[in-house]
Amino acid sequence: MMKLHESKFDVVLADAIGPCGELLAELLKVPFVYTLRFTPGYTYEKYSGGLTFPPSYVPIVMSELSDQMTFMDRIKNIMYMLYFDFWFQTFDVKKWNQFYSEVLGRPTTIYETMGKADFWLIRTHWDLEFPRPLLPNFDFVGGLHCKPAKPLPKYTNCNYTNKKSNECNLCSWKLLIEYILEKCLTLIN
């Protein structure tokens, strides 16, 4: 820990799936930023980040439900949400709460410590998500790391001169399909 203190980091960037990044940020007394795709049942986002996920119209991730849910689909979605809440509370949160309290030397919870994150970066594009209320410290960053694609050339030469060697250079789809059809016709005849 002394070596980390001496390094004087400006920020801690961590994934919410692997806990302890927020604990490290609190011990180093530096700002903390989460980067995550999602947590099962949106558990950490709900209880730590303060986001609301109304189960009546926001399907749980990996539930294969759409935003056009029937009444039974909505009941199923609520059951999924309750399952994940129960699972996290029963198997994960109790142990993490004890560990965090022990390390920090005061009673605390993992949700309280995670809730101190300054910013949450969601690694997906907002077009791919179901509409839901977001807080100002949540931002979609999916695709921001990608460079814009370069346009493909309109066409390049297709080499038909050496037909016996079946040689063809990169060419447009139209020329390529014409070449394949020509080859198929010659094989049939």
Q: At 132, phi and psi to the nearest 5?
A: -160, 160
Among 3, 5, 4, 24, smallest CA distance to 13 is for 24
Q: What is the pLDDT of residue 72?
A: 92
Q: What is the pLDDT of residue 23?
A: 87
Whether residue 100 is found in the same domain as residue 186: no
Give domain status of residue 189, yes or no.
yes
- Count of domains in the chain? 2
Q: Which residues of the chain have pLDDT under 70?
A: 41, 144-145, 152-174
Burial 11-37 (b: 16+ CB within 10 A, else e): ebebebeebebbbbbbebebebbbebe
Tokens of 176: 């390529």
Q: What is the pLDDT of residue 56?
A: 83
Full residue range of the structural domain in which residue 173 is found: 151-189
CA distance 90 to 28: 30
Tokens of 101: 């309290």
